[in-house]
């Protein structure tokens, strides 16, 4: 490392976003080291990141080509141990009747967990990725996680579990740029990945889908059971409740007007279905809350915020009551559809992530 140059570890996934992020760091004059993560799913056949995932074998080759074009050192690092924890958490959550978001755990434990350790071993104090997000620091030194300039691509929802140390060592070089401009920049740089499709699927899920993956991992969990309507009547059969999610419509028996999954009990093999109106709720309890924009407020504190309960859901107004350092009661101004245990609920204030955690459930008197 040349004296006076900051060494930065750039995570290069093999996609256009991380390619342009790394290129910008090189252009700034940083001492950039490229790293591609080998998660252990690359050799699992169909599960090895299809064309729309983020860590298949083709992505590793693309990442190496990007680093070579930029003229930076490049390493492929095995993080299968950490990623196995992400997969296990995914399976356990579904087995408990919840709907997990493994990308949140991957960002926290792998991309900004293991990567920080790897960076330290390479003499780098900063980890840069191609996420669409921005960072700021308050005069008191607290890190803030700001929404990206491109609201369509904003990824702060998936980053809400990063702690202050992880945010302090992070860089998001493309957070102030819209996607079309990123692709134009990649094309101008001659990157072959300039037109590569965005990753949209979970990298460890096979083409057959997540229920096929769960069946392979936990075959004993797939016990034949029944669908029940809102009156408790049996209205159909299924081959296992695990893998169904609150709000799901596809794969349900036809019983007149559209029905949606309203409750899942994998142990009993029961899936309840109901009309859409029955899944409208105003209140959710949230656990595992990570506070970013401020320290955890005192219990009983009420904060007005904008909240999102699914990655693609619009922001909604809500009042957040602090129940404890890591628990919340969130009351929406208007009812919302399918508040799903296991999904993340992230609160925003003034264009920044206030806090976020995992939906634990809907109080019985609010369902």
* 223 SS3 class: coil
Question: Which member of 54, 55, 103, 203 is catalytic?
Answer: 203
- What's the rounded Cα separation, in Å, for the pair 316 and 74? 43
CB 110 within 8 A of CB 37: yes
Q: Tally the residues of the chain.
A: 367
Q: What is the DSSP string of 264-278?
A: EETTTTEEEEE-GGG
Rounded to a whole number of angstroms, the distance between the first and last alpha carbons of the chain is 58
Q: Which tokens belong to 101?
A: 């978001």
Q: Which residues pair with 341 in a beta bridge?
A: none
54 is catalytic: no
Element (H, E) at 36: strand 31-38
Q: Got the DSSP string for 118-171?
A: HHHHTT--EEE---S-EEEE-TTS-EEEEPPS-TTT--GGGGTT--HHHHHTEE
Report the distance separating Cα 289 and Cα 357, nearest Å: 4
Pairing between β-strand 134-137 and β-strand 225-228 as defined by DSSP bridges: unpaired
Q: How far is CA 297 from CA 41, 100, 279, 360, in A?
A: 40, 27, 31, 20
Name 8's Cβ contacts closer than 8 Å, sequence gap at least 6.
Answer: 25, 30, 31, 32, 33, 124, 126, 127, 128, 171
Q: DSSP code of 298? A: P
Out of 54, 55, 103, 106, the active site residue is 106
- For the question of residue 106 being annotated catalytic, the response is yes
95: which 2 tokens?
């087995």
Q: Return the residue matching tokens 């967990």.
A: 113
- The count of C-alpha atoms lying within 13 angstroms of the C-alpha of 73, restricted to the half-sphere facing its C-beta, is 12
Q: What are phi and psi of 71, to 5 degrees?
A: 70, 35
Catalytic residue positions, numbered: 106, 203
């Amino acid at each position: 490392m040349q004296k006076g140059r900051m060494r930065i570890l750039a995570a290069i996934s093999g996609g256009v976003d991380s390619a342009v992020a790394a290129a910008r760091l090189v252009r700034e004059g940083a001492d950039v080291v490229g790293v591609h993560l080998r998660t252990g799913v690359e050799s699992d056949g169909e599960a090895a990141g299809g064309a729309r995932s983020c860590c298949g074998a083709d992505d590793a080759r693309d990442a190496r080509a990007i680093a070579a074009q930029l003229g930076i050192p490049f390493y492929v690092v095995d993080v299968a141990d950490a990623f196995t924890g992400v997969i296990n958490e995914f399976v356990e959550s579904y087995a408990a009747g919840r709907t997990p978001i493994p990308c949140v755990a991957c960002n926290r434990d792998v991309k900004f967990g293991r990567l920080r350790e790897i960076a330290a071993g390479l003499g780098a104090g900063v980890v840069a990725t191609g996420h669409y997000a921005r960072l700021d620091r308050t005069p008191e030194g607290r890190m803030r996680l700001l929404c990206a300039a491109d609201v369509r691509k904003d990824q702060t929802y998936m980053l809400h579990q990063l702690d202050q140390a992880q945010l302090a060592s992070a860089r998001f070089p493309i957070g102030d740029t819209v996607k079309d401009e990123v692709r134009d920049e990649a094309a101008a740089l001659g990157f072959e990945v300039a037109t590569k499709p965005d990753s949209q699927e979970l990298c460890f899920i096979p083409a057959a889908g997540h229920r096929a993956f769960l069946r392979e991992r936990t075959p004993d969990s797939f016990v034949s059971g029944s669908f029940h309507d809102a009156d408790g009547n049996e209205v159909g059969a299924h081959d296992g409740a695990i893998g169904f999610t609150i709000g799901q419509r596809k794969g349900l028996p036809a019983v007149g007007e559209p029905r949606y999954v309203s409750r899942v009990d994998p142990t009993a093999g029961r899936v309840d279905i109901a009309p859409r109106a029955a899944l409208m709720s105003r209140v959710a309890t949230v656990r595992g809350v990570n506070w970013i924009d401020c320290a955890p407020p005192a219990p009983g504190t009420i904060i007005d915020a904008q909240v999102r309960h699914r990655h693609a859901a619009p922001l909604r107004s809500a009042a957040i009551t602090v129940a404890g350092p890591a628990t919340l009661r969130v009351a929406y101004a208007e009812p919302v559809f399918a508040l799903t245990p296991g999904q993340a609920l992230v609160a925003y204030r003034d264009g920044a992530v206030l806090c976020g955690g995992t939906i634990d459930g809907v109080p019985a008197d609010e369902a």
